[in-house]
Amino acid sequence: MNQFTKKTNPAEAEPGTEPQKTHWVAGLIVKMAMMMFVIFIAFCARVHLNDKTEQLAREKARILEEIREKRTEIQTLVAKRESLRSWDNINKKINQYNLALRAVNPSQVRYMKRFEGQVAAPSQYGGDTRVADTSAGAALTSGGIQ
C-alpha cells in the first residue's frame, strides 16, 4: 500500500498473479525487428543498384573506346583506299608490272540510260554512268583503237 495516496497497487493486492508487461514489449521487439529487416533490404537493394550502375558505366566506357578505335581504323582504311585508287598509284603499278594498259580514249566513253526497274551496275561505284565501250563497232566508229 502506498503511504502517501492510500491506494493499493493491484500487483501488491494479489500476490499470486504477475503483471502482463511482456505483451507490449514483445510487440515492440517484433515491430523493431521488422523495421530493421526493411531497412536492411533497402540497404542491400541500394548497394546492388550502385554496383550495377558502376558496372554499366565501365561497360559503356569500354564500348565508347572500342567505337573510337573502329572509327580511327575506318578513317585509316578510307585514306589507304583513296591512295590506292589514285591515278598516280595505278600508273605506277602499270609501269612496275609492265602492263600494256593505257588511258581510255574520250571517244570510247558512252553514257548509259537508266531504266525503271533495272539495276545499274555503275551506281555501286558512286553513281558514275560512264563506261568504256570496247566493242568492235566502237573501234570502227571511233577511228580504231590505238
Q: For the segment 58-91, what is each residue's pLDDT rounded down to a tens digit?
A: 999 999 999 999 999 999 999 999 999 998 998 8
Alpha-carbon distance of 134 to 140, in angstroms, equals 10
Q: Domain boundaries in the chain?
A: 21-101, 104-146
Return phi, psi of residue 7, to 5°: -110, 150
pTM, full prediction: 0.45
How far does Cα 4 stand from its chain's mean position? 83
Give the separation between CA 46 and CA 35, rounded to whole angstroms: 16
Q: How confident is the model at residue 4 (pLDDT cuts 50, 70, 90)?
A: low
